[in-house]
Amino acid sequence: MGIMAGAPTAAGATCSATAPATEGPYYTPGAPYRASIATPGTQGTPLVLTGRVLTTACAPVARATVDVWQADGTGAYDNADYRLRGKVRTGADGTWRLRTVVPGIYPGRTEHIHVKVGAPGGPVTTTQLYLPGSAGNARDAFFSSSLLIRNLKRSRTPWTGSYTFVVRR
User: Using CA atoms, how far apart are residues 61 and 41, in angstroms rounded to an integer?
Assistant: 34
Q: Is residue 17 over pLDDT 90? A: yes
Question: Per-residue pLDDT tens for 65-103?
Answer: 999 999 999 999 999 999 999 999 999 999 999 999 999
| 13 — pLDDT class (breaks 50, 70, 90) | confident
Mean pLDDT of all residues belonging to the chain: 93
Instruction: Report pLDDT for 129.
Output: 98
Average pLDDT of span 133-146 = 96
Q: How do the domains of the chain map onto residue ranges? A: 46-167
pTM: 0.92
- Could you please state the CATH topology (level 3) that the domain comprising 46-167 is classified under: Protocatechuate 3,4-Dioxygenase, subunit A (2.60.130)
